[in-house]
Amino acid sequence: MVIAVAAMSIAITATYVITGNLHDTMGERFIVEDVWFTTGKISIYIRNVGKVSIKIATVYIDHTPQSLKPLKLEENKNGWLNVTYSWSHNSVYHINIVTVRGTKVVDYYESPS
Amino acid sequence: MNLRLKQDRSGVSNIIVVVLSLVIVVAIIANIVLWGYGMNQLDWEKMKEEIIITNVERDTEINGTRFIFKNEGALTSHLVSLWIINSTNHQRYDISVFVNSAETTTYLRADIFLPDDQYTVKVVTERGNIAVWSR
């Protein structure tokens, strides 16, 4: 009896933990509304269009991770993500935005002339 | 005799524990399957949505700007963000405009002034689609 309860408790807990992570990862959706190149900085405006809160963990510019202040967005919320970066005029940048759970939005953005 | 009864009861209890636990596990898995179905529905709705900006112009009557949005998709669109972008500024405005399927809506804003130089107008839907208009 004790062994059965222990075994099934472990099974239920494992199922709950595994599906809980899966649930949150499946519910993540976000979009980039705008990218603004200003002096020494690239500002990215992000909107959470998913069903769970998101936390932006890293931004890769041309495959190089950039340091940034993490941005947490609840459902249907939006905000600026500021990345310090010395960009050049008339250049195309590959920007990859990644959440803590691993969801990413990748695109090319051209800097102004 | 007593020992045999105790063993029988213990066997029944084990079966009850296992069955109840399996019911809980199935309920958890069913919940995740339904969640996945809901997210697929969300993606499908996003693909079906198609909003376009047909015109943006100064409105002299209200001394502001007139935007015309057309919904060419199969679902009602909820517009939530409006951007006016030029070479020096990226200005965002919160909006809440519903455009029914196959309908055109005029949206007037007295507090928005269009730049004199080249500019781009973007509108973002709640589902995450973006329409762009440039002049």
Contacts of B18 in chain A (CB under 8 A): 4, 8
Q: Please check whether residue A109 is in contact with residue A35, taking contact to mean a CB–CB distance below 8 angstroms.
A: yes
Please tell me the predicted confidence (pLDDT) of residue A68: 87
pLDDT, tens only, A30-78:
999 999 999 999 999 999 999 999 999 999 999 999 988 889 999 999 9
Q: Which stretches of B53-134 are DSSP H helices?
A: none
pLDDT, tens only, A13-30:
887 787 778 888 999 999
Contacts of B38 in chain A (CB under 8 A): 51
Which residues have CB under 8 Å from A14's CB, separation 6+? Answer: none
Helix (H, G, I), strand (E, B) or coil at B26: helix
pLDDT, tens only, B103-122:
999 999 999 989 888 999 99
A31 Cβ under 8 Å from any chain B Cβ: yes
**Interface pTM (ipTM) of the complex?**
0.82
Domains, in order of start, for chain A: 29-110 (2.60.40.10)
Instruction: Please give the Cα distance from B95 to B111 (Å, whole number).
Output: 12
Instruction: Please give the Cα distance from A30 to B130 (Å, whole number).
Output: 13
Q: Which stretches of chain B are DSSP H helices?
A: 2-48
- Residue B3 predicted with pLDDT over 60: no
Nearest chain B CA: its distance from A8 CA (Å)? 6
Choose the mutation target among A31, A43, A46, A81 for the interface with B, i.e. most B CBs under 10 Å.
A31
pLDDT band at B18 (very low <50, low <70, confident <90, very high): confident
Nearest chain B CA: its distance from A65 CA (Å)? 25
**Partner residue opposite B29 with nearest CB, options A15, A49, A51:** A15
pLDDT, tens only, B57-100:
998 888 899 999 999 999 999 999 999 999 889 999 999 999 99
β partners of residue A64: A61
A34 Cβ under 8 Å from any chain B Cβ: yes
What single letter denotes the amino acid at residue B27?
A
pLDDT top residue among A16 and B132: B132
pLDDT band at A4 (very low <50, low <70, confident <90, very high): confident
Judged by CB atoms closer than 8 Å, whether chains meet at A23 and B81 is answered as no
DSSP conformational letter for B88: S
**Partner residue opposite A26 with nearest CB, options B18, B21, B35:** B35
Please tell me the predicted confidence (pLDDT) of residue B6: 60
**Partner residue opposite B18 with nearest CB, options A4, A22, A31:** A4
Q: Report how far apart, in Å, the C-alpha atoms of B30 and of each of A3, A22, A86 are.
A: 26, 13, 49
**Partner residue opposite A34 with nearest CB, options B24, B80, B83:** B83
Helix (H, G, I), strand (E, B) or coil at A8: helix
Q: What mean pLDDT do residues B3-11 have?
A: 62
Judged by CB atoms closer than 8 Å, whether chains meet at B28 and A31 is answered as no
Judged by CB atoms closer than 8 Å, whether chains meet at B32 and A49 is answered as no
Nearest to A53 by CA among A79, A35, A33, A34: A79
Q: What mean pLDDT do residues B21-27 have?
A: 86
Dihedral class, residue B42 (left if φ above 0, else alpha if ψ from -120 to 50, else beta): alpha
Judge if pTM exceeds 0.80: yes
- B/e letters for A59-88, b = 16+ CB within 10 Å, e = fewer, are bbbeeeeeebeebebeeeebeebbbebebe
Tell me which of B17-21, B32-36, B37-41 is least confident. B17-21
Please tell me the predicted confidence (pLDDT) of residue A19: 77
A8 Cβ under 8 Å from any chain B Cβ: yes
